[in-house]
Amino acid sequence: MSRDVSVAILADVHGILPAFEAVAADVEAQAPDRVIVSGDMVNRGPQSPEVLDAIHARGWEMLLGNHDDLLLMWTRRDPALPAGWFDDPFWASTAWCAAQVDAAGWGPTLAGLPMTTRIVEDDLPAVLVAHGSPRHYREGYGRHLSDAAISEIVEMHPYEVLVGSHTHIQMERRWGHHLVLNSGAVGTPFDGDARAQYLMLHGEGGRWRPEFRRVAYDRAAALEAFATSGYLGEAGLSARLYQAEVAVARSLLVPFQMWSETHDEPRDEAAWHRFRRTVGRSLRAPDEAGAAAVEASGLATDDG
């Protein structure tokens, strides 16, 4: 008879240290056999090196996510990135976070991280974990991923259980005898619930049972760190949008970026307000800490 086993999988911390510390305490209380931090430890938030230090201090595994790789690419001025980004004020947040991570000496460690890892236990289905999917770290498991895409993924990677993150929304989906799971996001959930999210996998009776966990944390401290770190003052509009995403637990920056590209609009504050008026993007926060941050940001006004 196989022993019961448990694995914690968390991702998308995005430099939000108070969220990570709360999840870490919850994980440690569960006493899993293994902990996997499945990418996007950094960028967006103001405490990327501190998050990496906290993960390393616990000896937890890390996988490479798209934002971890983005900071590496930024630091080495990778030609795969659009050349105009490096002088565009909109990307000042990426430049700021990349400089912080590079100065802390984390570049070589991030560059050596694997894209996937396996969970193989006797008498349990094999599990493949990636930041997005095993095909690409930006292909997240979510409601918009087609049945055809899942069919292709499991054909290429025939694991009974596939775990990803990237979309910042927890999900459980069945495809035949395959179980497809999304861990959700620690630092920046996008489903309106501001609590930090992660996944526990419990191996029991020859199968894996997913448990989606949500953890409250000190949101006022997390939002305040955007200002006290100097990030808001130095990194401009995109840093303010990232803070607002934490405040409202919704995606803001990418929809605005896509809208600006589609409509040939500049990525500046006036365009942001035009975007809000055009698409009706809500900045309603789920708690007082988030509401205070939104009000202070000026992003919810009709100026511009």
Q: What is the pLDDT of residues 109-143, one digit of tens each?
A: 999 999 999 999 999 999 999 999 999 999 999 98
Q: What share of the chain is helix, strand, coil (3-state, %, to 5)?
A: 40, 15, 40
Name the residue ranges covered by the structural domains of the chain: 5-215, 219-297
Amino acid (one-letter) located at 173: R
Q: Whole-model pTM?
A: 0.96
Contacts of 215 (CB under 8 A, 6+ apart): 19, 22, 23, 26, 195, 196, 197, 198
**Out of 2-6, 77-81, 110-114, 155-159, which region has the weakest mean confidence (pLDDT)?**
2-6
Closest CA to 222 of 9, 21, 71, 8: 21
Please tell me whether residue 164 adopts helix, strand or coil conformation.
strand
User: Residue 304 above 70 pLDDT?
Assistant: no
Q: Give pLDDT, residue 3.
A: 74
User: Residue 169 above 50 pLDDT?
Assistant: yes
Question: Average pLDDT for residues 198-215, to the nearest whole number?
Answer: 97
User: Residue 2 above 70 pLDDT?
Assistant: no
Q: What is the pLDDT of residues 229-239, one digit of tens each?
A: 999 999 999 99
> What is the spatial distance between Cα 104 and Cα 50, in angstroms, rounded to a whole number?
9
CATH number for the domain running over 5-215: 3.60.21.10
Q: What is the DSSP pairing of strand 171-175 with strand 178-182?
A: antiparallel
Residue 209 tokens, joined: 């049972």
> What is the spatial distance between Cα 27 and Cα 112, in angstroms, rounded to a whole number?
25
User: Residue 241 above 60 pLDDT?
Assistant: yes
User: Residue 201 above 60 pLDDT?
Assistant: yes
Q: What is the pLDDT of residues 173-200, one digit of tens each?
A: 998 889 999 999 999 999 999 999 999 9
Contacts of 128 (CB under 8 A, 6+ apart): 116, 117, 118, 119, 134, 157, 159, 161, 162, 163
Task: Please list the alpha-helical segments (H only) found in the chain.
Answer: 17-30, 48-58, 66-75, 92-103, 107-111, 147-156, 219-228, 231-248, 253-262, 269-279, 288-297
Amino acid (one-letter) located at 16: I
Q: What is the pLDDT of residues 28-55, one digit of tens each?
A: 999 999 999 999 999 999 999 999 999 9
Q: Give pLDDT, residue 280.
A: 83
> What is the spatial distance between Cα 187 and Cα 19, in angstroms, rounded to a whole number?
6
> What is the spatial distance between Cα 270 and Cα 304, in angstroms, rounded to a whole number?
4
Q: Kindly report the three-state secondary structure assignment for every residue of 134-147.
A: CCCCCCCCCCCCCH
User: Residue 207 above 70 pLDDT?
Assistant: yes
Residue 8 tokens, joined: 């914690």
Rounded percentage of the chain residues whose pLDDT exceeds 70? 98
Phi-psi sector, 187: left (phi>0), alpha (psi -120 to 50), beta: alpha
Residue found by looking up tokens 């899993």 in the block:
32
